[in-house]
Amino acid sequence: MLRTVAVIALPHVAAFELGTACEVFGIDRADTGGPSFDFRVCGPEPGAVVPSKGGFSVVVDHGLEVTRDADLVVVPAYGMPAAPVPEPVLDALRTAHARGAWVLSICSGAFALGEAGLLDGRRCTTHWLHAAALAARFPTASVDPDVLFVEDDRVITGAGTAAGIDACLHLVRRELGAAAATSVARRMVVPPQRDGGQAQYVDTPLPPVADTLAPLLAWMLEHLDADLDVPTLAARALMSERTFARRFRAETGATPAAWLARQRVARAQELLERTDAPVDEVARRSGFSSGALLRHHFARTLGTTPLAYRRRFTCTSDAPTHDAPAGVPG
């Protein structure tokens, strides 16, 4: 049973991520039927003043000894690029996990778990901005940059910032049940479980380097609604199909079909955010042959539906509600 929670505040701790752990686990919600926990913020030196990323400092009252009987040890985001973690902190994380406690990181806190060896051979995630660095630093970890959180053998890693709420509520649900998680979420005025993953929040700019194909890529972006097959593109690039396919992958890191699909999804995202065009019209203007095909690519790439994406990110004055008839998925 999840009763005791210890949060380790490292130098330049991120205020929001620290606050997330405090909000989920540090408030007694017994008066509304919710859970309460024995909650403590700790660090290598009790009484130390720890600087935060927000321009203020946090006084840490407890030392790492409080992790010895904690059911959960949390590491919020801290200074990036991630500085070396003190060995006593790494020992505390290893010991906690070895005796069966949960260990949870939020955002760049995953780097501390990696330093402790807790990501070796495990699936994990972090903020999409840091995913490549995490994978490079800990090559035996399986980093998934598209999800909001990952649970693997009592190690939970949350993605960036607000995804820490999802990770923490997941653990409350896992240990105490859906009613407890819903009670906490209701008090926090957040959904108890979000759909999709962090891929829907990722910017997808053009590749920074595209030596010979840069003009073609720009042209493709202007004609996403056209039939852009390899023979057509190779002819426009004045290359054989084989040479074109090889060069395209070398300069973009993807096949022509994969690159086009991602750019078409990005165009659809823009149309959903900034227009009230129906989903079928968005599909046509972004290069998909039908709304069904757009929904397929949205689910595969972003882990959500066009309508759910529009509700979350619309920039128009009124969120449209007429894109699909009743009973038809968005």
The amino acid at 291: G
In the annotation, is 315 catalytic? Answer: no
What's the token pair of residue 56?
């203020």
Which residue(s) pair with 57 in the sheet? 51
Instruction: Count the residues in the chain.
Output: 330
Helix axes 306-313, 291-302, angle to 10 degrees: 70
* Residue 98: strand, helix, or coil: helix
330 CB-contact burial (10 Å; exposed 0-12 / middle 13-18 / buried 19+):
middle
Neighbours of 71 (CB within 10 A): 18
- Tell me phi and psi for residue 321, to 5 degrees: -130, 10
Residue tagged active-site, from 107, 124, 168, 315: 107
Q: How far apart are CA 12 and CA 9, in angstroms?
A: 8
User: 207 CB contacts (<8 Å, ≥6 apart)?
Assistant: 217, 251, 252, 253
Which residues are known catalytic residues? 107
